[in-house]
């Protein structure tokens, strides 16, 4: 939606082909970093998002003994800087509401199943309809992309062994305001609470709560007794988080999340190009996926505006530039994920050894803060996405 909007606002004729029968967001909250907020600024949507979301000033991680493993503040990057926790439905609606006024034609119930002639793409959906030919097909079908291998046959996107369950809850007194908080039991359990501000139905003071679960155990986990988990597992790890779910009787409102580690090499084939998670999905430990996708979108539209070479050449140049940003996060994500999601005592020791000084020693802290804010990039941000 961000790419469609950015391109339409720059005068392109855009058709958005969406698999869902009715547009709808999936999942619960996400953390927008200064990078994602800068991309939303370019779309003139940052103020609306700040107003609807919840300000996040720091990321705090503790272990079950109360030891602070991680403590990184946006203010250590730049005074006054912050992230914004946002409910996905709110981000979704904010973007979606702008599509029609910008002239984007939205076609729903259009699950694209085949791409014909990548040099001048025609897209075919599951109902036998065809769309195009287009000058450019931007393929943003997420980390589980079914179209990726049509563009890059050697692409790989294995599912991480760890997934999570997520839900939203009310925090009327704002006890979780101001920070993304996480609690770890070794690296086997990781739970987090993110304030997200307004909910899907306009409720205020909402938070998103997640709990990590190995993918192979997800079905059994959600078939287990909710109250036993809430009291005996979440309650033992983090009583304040368990209190958020008091009065709830079952798993209703929980959704499951799987993550993939996407590697595709080049993102395009002729005039078809992958964007967002379809090109560079990672585990969400660093909270960057949606931010990277938003930056992809805005920078692609800007590049096509100022680069008058053939579309495929301009797209290659955009991609080379973006990979100096996305590549770092893919690499770091891959390296750090086992520190937060693994069995045994080795990886959590490594995590404490790595992150505890990172939160305290000035040089390392600066690196941690760059990582957190999404601003680690080889080369500069162009003016439109400069955080
Ligand atoms: C639990 C969890 C927590 C996360 N937390 C954060 C966070 O805090 N911060 C952050 O930045 N990121 C976070 N992420 C990552 C973030 O959600 C993704 O990086 C982001 O949604 C990627 O956006 P996308 O547009 O590339 O793909 P998606 O959001 O997956 O969107 C893909 C779209 O393509 C459509 N589609 C799929 N197949 C087809 C088809 N064949 N034809 C037509 N349409 C199709 C889908 O219906 C969907 O609308 C988190 C992810 C998870 C799972």
| Ligand 1 pocket test, candidate residues 157, 267, 273, 289, most atoms within 8 A of CB | 289
CATH code of the domain in which 343 resides: 3.50.50.60
Report d(CA 193, CA 210) in Å as an integer. Answer: 7
pLDDT digits over 373-387, tens only?
999 999 999 999 999
Which residues in the chain belong to E strands, given as ranges?
15-17, 29-32, 54-63, 68-73, 83-87, 105-107, 112-116, 122-125, 130-131, 137-139, 162-170, 178-185, 189-197, 206-214, 255-257, 268-269, 272-274
CB atoms within 10 A of CB 6: 26
Q: Is 56 in the pocket of ligand 1 (CB under 6 A)?
A: no
Put residue 132 in one of left, alpha, beta given phi > 0 → left and psi -120 to 50 → alpha. Answer: left
| Ligand 1 pocket test, candidate residues 142, 163, 181, 212, most atoms within 8 A of CB | 142
Report d(CA 47, CA 140) in Å as an integer. Answer: 25
Q: How many domains does the chain have?
A: 1
186 domain residue, yes or no: no
82 domain residue, yes or no: yes
Q: Is 296 in the pocket of ligand 1 (CB under 6 A)?
A: no
- Token readout for 262 is 């996407």
pLDDT digits over 147-188, tens only?
999 999 999 999 988 899 999 999 999 999 999 999 988 767
Omega before 133 cis (within 30°)?
Answer: yes
Contact 258, 163 (CB under 8 A): yes
Contact 336, 367 (CB under 8 A): no
Q: Which of 156-160, 201-205, 221-225 has the highest mean pLDDT?
A: 221-225
User: What is the band of 341 on the pLDDT scale with cuts at 50, 70, 90?
Assistant: low
Give Cα 237 distance to the centre of its chain.
26
147 domain residue, yes or no: yes
Domain span including residue 331: 23-95+108-158+260-385
215 domain residue, yes or no: no
Whether 109 has a pLDDT exceeding 80, the answer reads: yes
Ligand 1: centre distance to CA 294 (Å): 11
Report d(CA 300, CA 285) in Å as an integer. Answer: 26
Q: What percent of the chain clears pLDDT 70, i.e. is strictly above it?
A: 93
Q: Is 114 in the pocket of ligand 1 (CB under 6 A)?
A: no
User: What is the band of 364 on the pLDDT scale with cuts at 50, 70, 90?
Assistant: confident
Angle at 173 (CA atoms; ends 197, 67), nearest 5 degrees? 90
CB atoms within 10 A of CB 92: 18
Whether 122 has a pLDDT exceeding 70, the answer reads: yes
37 domain residue, yes or no: yes
| 3-class secondary structure, 310 | coil
pLDDT digits over 293-326, tens only?
999 999 999 999 999 999 999 999 999 999 999 9
**Mean pLDDT in the chain?**
92
Residue that wins the pLDDT comparison between 377 and 342: 377
pLDDT, position 194: 97
Whether 66 has a pLDDT exceeding 70, the answer reads: yes
57 domain residue, yes or no: yes
User: What is the band of 12 on the pLDDT scale with cuts at 50, 70, 90?
Assistant: very high
Q: Is 84 in the pocket of ligand 1 (CB under 6 A)?
A: no
Q: What is the number of the ligand 1 atom nearest to the C-alpha of 277? A: 26
User: What is the band of 209 on the pLDDT scale with cuts at 50, 70, 90?
Assistant: very high
Distances (CA, A) of 95 to 98, 199, 272, 330: 6, 16, 23, 26
Q: Is 297 in the pocket of ligand 1 (CB under 6 A)?
A: no
CB atoms within 10 A of CB 356: 17
- pTM for the model: 0.95
pLDDT, position 337: 76
Would you state the torsion angle of the CA atoms of residues 33, 36, 37, 38, taken in this order, to the nearest 10 degrees? 120
Angle at 201 (CA atoms; ends 200, 202), nearest 5 degrees? 95
Q: Is 277 in the pocket of ligand 1 (CB under 6 A)?
A: yes
Burial class (CB in 10 A: 0-12, 13-18, 19+), 231: middle
pLDDT, position 334: 85
pLDDT digits over 16-62, tens only?
999 998 766 666 799 999 999 999 999 999 999 999 999 999 999 99
pLDDT, position 358: 65
177 domain residue, yes or no: no
Whether 271 has a pLDDT exceeding 70, the answer reads: yes
246 domain residue, yes or no: no
Q: Is 126 in the pocket of ligand 1 (CB under 6 A)?
A: no
């Amino acid at each position: 939606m961000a790419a469609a909007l950015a391109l339409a606002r720059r005068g392109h004729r855009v058709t958005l082909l969406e698999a869902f029968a009715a547009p709808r967001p999936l999942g619960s909250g996400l953390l927008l970093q200064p990078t994602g907020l800068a991309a939303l600024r370019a779309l003139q949507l940052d103020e609306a998002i700040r107003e609807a979301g919840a300000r996040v000033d720091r990321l705090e991680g503790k272990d079950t003994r109360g030891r602070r493993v991680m403590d990184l503040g946006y203010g250590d990057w730049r005074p006054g800087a912050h992230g914004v926790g946002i409910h996905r439905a709110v981000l979704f609606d904010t973007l979606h509401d702008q599509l029609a006024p910008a002239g984007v034609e939205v076609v729903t119930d259009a699950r694209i199943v085949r791409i014909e002639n990548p040099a001048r793409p025609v897209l075919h959906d599951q109902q036998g309809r065809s769309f195009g030919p287009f000058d450019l097909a931007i393929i943003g079908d997420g980390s589980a992309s079914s179209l990726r291998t049509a563009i890059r046959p050697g692409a790989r996107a294995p599912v991480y062994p760890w997934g999570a369950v997520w839900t939203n809850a009310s925090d009327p007194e704002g006890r979780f305001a101001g920070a993304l908080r996480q609690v770890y039991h070794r690296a086997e359990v990781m739970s987090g609470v993110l304030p997200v501000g307004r909910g899907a139905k306009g409720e205020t003071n909402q938070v998103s709560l997640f709990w990590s679960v190995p993918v192979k155990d997800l079905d059994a986990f959600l078939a287990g007794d909710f109250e036993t988990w809430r009291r005996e597992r979440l309650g033992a790890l983090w009583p304040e988080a368990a209190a958020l779910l008091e009065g709830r009787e079952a798993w209703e409102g929980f959704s499951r999340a799987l993550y993939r580690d996407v590697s595709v090499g080049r993102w395009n084939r002729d005039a078809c190009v992958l964007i967002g998670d379809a090109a560079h999905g990672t585990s969400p430990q660093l909270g960057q996926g949606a931010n990277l996708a938003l930056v992809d979108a805005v920078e692609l539209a800007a590049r096509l505006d100022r680069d008058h070479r053939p579309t495929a050449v301009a797209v290659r140049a955009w991609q080379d530039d973006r990979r100096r940003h996305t590549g770092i996060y893919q690499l770091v994500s891959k390296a750090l994920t086992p520190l937060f999601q693994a069995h045994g005592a080795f990886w959590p020791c490594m995590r404490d050894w790595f992150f505890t000084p990172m939160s305290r020693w000035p040089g390392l802290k600066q690196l941690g803060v760059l990582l957190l804010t999404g601003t680690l990039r080889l080369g500069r941000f162009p003016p439109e996405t400069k955080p």
